[in-house]
Structure 1
Amino acid sequence: MATSTPPGSRTELGDVLTVLDLAGSARVWIDGGWGVDALLGRQTRDHGDLDLAIEARHLDAFVGTLSHHGFTAVGEDGATAWNFLLAGPGGAVVDLHVIVLDEHDNGVLGPVGKGAVYPAESLTGHGVLGDRPVSCIAAAWVVRFHDAYAGDADDRADVRALCDRFGLVVPEQYR
């Protein structure tokens, strides 16, 4: 993704649950580190932000609600209309990934020609944060998405934990 979370940002479980409450009936999927934690059913590490895929048809209302609760655009250099950051008054950061579902329920991220897609199967994950059931990116796809770039120590721990928990093959670069 083109965005980058501001250094020192920290997004706690309570922040995540608040953002999900504010999402109301908007269709959202948790991605990134919090998505991994949802799949594992427990928080495994600190997180700078909450990666959240959201259907474009819900974006304006959701951003309006977040703004009403003190969230503001970070204004990072890599921001686009389909991927941008909002920071809350307490320091939480939401990294929004705006998707449009195509005729096959794939989540198209950005201009169609760029080929950035959450395949329909990737949008079928279910997890738990706190005691709350959440929709998230499916484990096999989280691993596949991570394998598309050189990860850091957090990525290695996330991939290994998911592979162990779900019986997936650890990609070569994460062994």
Structure 2
Amino acid sequence: MKADQVVSLLHALHDRGLRAWVAGGWAVDAVAGRQSRPHRDLDLAIDAGQLSLARAVLADLGFALTVDWLPVRAELTAADGRKVDIHPVNFAADGSGTQAGLDGMTFFYAADGFDEGRIAGERVPCLSVTQQLRFRQGYELRDTDHHDLALLRQHDR
């Protein structure tokens, strides 16, 4: 997934009234304000109440469901190989949220877990540095995780 494709897809989701935040590696690059590495896919935290709409908009954009682990996550793939990994978040009144995990786990999004960054020079909604650091704990880190953590720590306020 290239930067201009990410921005275009975010515009399409926003234009349909969807609440979505860039997560994963692209969120790291969004807070850094520059692309630091290639990305296999685009991870999006979406409002779980808008899951059906998100899937419909992505289908209109040529994406088909290829991995269905809902309510945990779903991966959609376009004919050209682009992938979008959606993570449904159930929001509370205070702005925090939870996402179902495998084996009964739950991922918590604090109310301060949502921010903005820049991709291809455009402002985009993304997970905050603090939230991204929270999500990179409790598992064996890969090389990309070490890379991402170094960037996140440079931008931690």
Indicate whether the TM-score tops 0.5: yes
- 2-structure distance, mates of 1:23, 1:48: 20
SS of match in other structure, 2:150? helix
In 1, Cα distance between the equivalents of 2:34 and 2:60? Answer: 30
User: Where do residues 74-113 of structure 1 align in structure 2 (5 Å cutoff)?
Assistant: 74-75=66-67, 79-110=69-100
Written as runs of structure 1 = structure 2, the 5 A alignment for 1:21-60 is 21-24=11-14, 25-60=17-52
Q: Secondary structure at the match of 1:133?
A: strand
With over 3 angstroms needed to count, the CA separation of the structure-2 counterparts of 1:102 and 1:69, relative to structure 1, is same
| Partner SS, residue 100 of structure 1 | strand
Out of 143, 146, 153, the residue aligned to residue 143 of structure 2 is 153
Secondary structure at the residue paired with 2:134? helix
Under a length normalisation based on structure 2, what TM-score does the superposition of the two structures give? Answer: 0.89
Q: Deviations over 1:45-76 (max 9, x none)?
A: 00011110000222212211211221001136
Answer whether contact 1:82 1:99 (CA < 8 A) is retained.
no
Secondary structure of 2:46 counterpart: strand
TM-score for the superposition, normalised by structure 1 = 0.80
Separation of aligned partners in 2, 1:165 and 1:75: 33
Alpha-carbon shift at residue 114 of structure 1 (Å): 3.9
Number of residue-to-residue matches in the alignment: 153
How far, CA to CA, are the matches of 1:155 and 1:165 in structure 2?
Answer: 15
Q: Which has the larger radius of gyration?
A: 1
Q: Deviations over 1:1-46 (max 9, x none)?
A: xxxxxxxxxx111221122122022111111000000000000000
Counterpart code for 2:51: L
Conservation of the 8 A alpha-carbon contact between 2:41 and 2:85: yes
Letter in 2 for 1:141: Q
Q: Go from structure 1 to structure 2 and tell me whether the alpha carbon gap of 1:103 and 1:89 turns closer, same or farther (over 3 Å shift).
A: same
Runs of 5+ in structure 1 lacking a partner?
1-10, 168-175
Contact 1:38–1:127, Cα closer than 8 Å, also in 2: yes
Match of 1:117 in 2: 108
Greater shift in the superposed pair: 40-49 or 58-67: 58-67
Aligned identity (percent) is 29
Distance 2:106 2:59 in 1: 30
Q: CA deviation at 1:134?
A: 1.0
> Are the aligned partners of 1:28 and 1:52 in contact in 2 as well (CA < 8 Å)?
yes
After TM superposition, what 4+ stretches of structure 1 lie above 4 angstroms from structure 2? none
